[in-house]
A and B are shown apart, each in its own frame.
Chain A
Amino acid sequence: MAPTLQDVSFLLGLPVVGEAVGPRVVPPGWMDDLQARFAAVDRHPGLGPVLPHPTAARGPSKRWLMQFQVSHSIAYE
């Protein structure tokens, strides 16, 4: 047995048509680009400066991204 496109469609509701999510060329400077792009984000003043991205990471750091997370509770406050 194996999961199929029908399972993906019914269980997750994801589209099974469209362009392939194929390989993409990521520029070597992706980390600097990412930090530069997020530097101008207008964060809450009490949060302090954005921490630098870990330099040895092989991809965007999850912990670093959490500095821009959406909050699930704030709308109910």
Chain B
Amino acid sequence: MNNIIYNYVYLSIYHFLQPGMLADEADEYSVSRSLEAYLLWLLGNIMFCNGHGNTVDKILLVYARAIADAQAEEEVPSWSWGAAVLSCTYHALCDACMKTEANGMITGCPLLLQLWAYERIAVGRPRVSLAPYEDALYVDDHDDTWPTMGTIWMRPHSVRFFYFYSGFFSSSMHYITSSYILQRSWAPSQTRRSYPEFIRELDQLQPDDVVWEPYSAEAIVARAPRGLSSWCGANPGLWLTTAALVYDIYVEPHCPDRVMRQFGLRQRFPLPAPLHRVPRQDHG
């Protein structure tokens, strides 16, 4: 029962990351706490952003602690972090489109939203090298540490810079989140007047401007000739599921019927969601 967070981050912290604020001869308990603090940061700052800004969702305490205190990989329950991130982001999108205040922010996983958009449309894309993944991205023989499709948008500009980071971030998710903080390069129109400029570009989009099937076999081979992380494309039987996605009290329907072209299928008029939105106050 692999668990990505345990598998990657736990191992990373012991073998690559140094708990930088710990004493030189810190005991295992101290290292586990550093891991717990790091997990709360990863979960609260990258995967499940909330509207408070300066705090992490309380329930993540339970999950971070369970992972940090596990003595072996098998002890960590296999949680569906992917469904949780998607649920939280769906909720965030519903919430964000109703906001009217000037300082309103989008919650959930903005990183997912950005990568998702970059893959499909050119509006707002950073300037990155589209060269195939270099060998330096494959620092480990274990294919679960290899890059994801999203890595291309986060790849540092120079190999030297990558080496600086590669030693610490062996996991794909970890690598993405770590390079998230790196400065990206943008077209001039994206740094000035970006809002009216993006709106104009979005209005002019034609069907041919959209990459409808970003994960075709050809696209994967072109980007990653050596292959992707084994997590990428795992469990394809679930991609068309209409099961509920759960994060905390958020229960969102998965709606692949709205993006059938992504799966090489014909798009029909979307049906009502199988799971109707439950008003927030009914969650108790």
**Segment at the interface with A among B133-141, B187-195, B224-232:** B224-232
Which residues of the partner chain A approach B30 to less than 8 Å between Cβ atoms?
40-43
Q: Which A residues are in CB contact (< 8 Å) with B3?
A: 15, 18
Q: Tell yes or no: A4 within 8 A of B by CB.
A: yes
The answer to whether the Cβ of A45 comes within 8 Å of any Cβ in the partner chain is yes
When distances are taken between beta carbons in the complex, the residues of chain B under 8 Å from A61 are 54-56
Contact across chains for B83 and A9 when beta carbons are under 8 A apart: no
Whether the pair B22, A15 counts as a contact (CB closer than 8 A) is no
Q: Which of B74-82, B98-106, B123-131, B274-282 contacts A (4 or more CB under 8 A)?
A: B74-82
List, in ascending order, chain B residues with CB within 8 A of A2's CB. Answer: 90, 255, 258-259
Interface size on B, residues (CB 8 A): 96
One digit per residue, 1 when the CB lies within 8 angstroms of any chain A CB and 0 when it does not, for chain B 231-270 equals: 1111110110100011111000011101100110000000
- Say yes or no: A10 contacts B80, CB within 8 Å: no
Contacts of A16 in B (CB 8 A): 80, 82-83, 234-235, 238
- Distance between Cα atoms of A63 and B44 in the complex (Å): 12
Residue from B58, B85, B178 in contact with A8 in the complex, judged by beta carbons closer than 8 Å: B85
Partner of A69, one of B20, B29, B178: B20
Residue ID in chain B nearest A71 by CB atoms = B20
Nearest chain B CB to A68 CB, angstrom units: 4
What are 18 A-B contacts defined by CB distance under 8 Å?
A: A4-B86, A8-B112, A9-B233, A9-B235, A12-B115, A15-B2, A19-B79, A21-B79, A40-B30, A57-B54, A57-B55, A62-B54, A62-B56, A65-B40, A69-B20, A70-B35, A71-B21, A75-B168
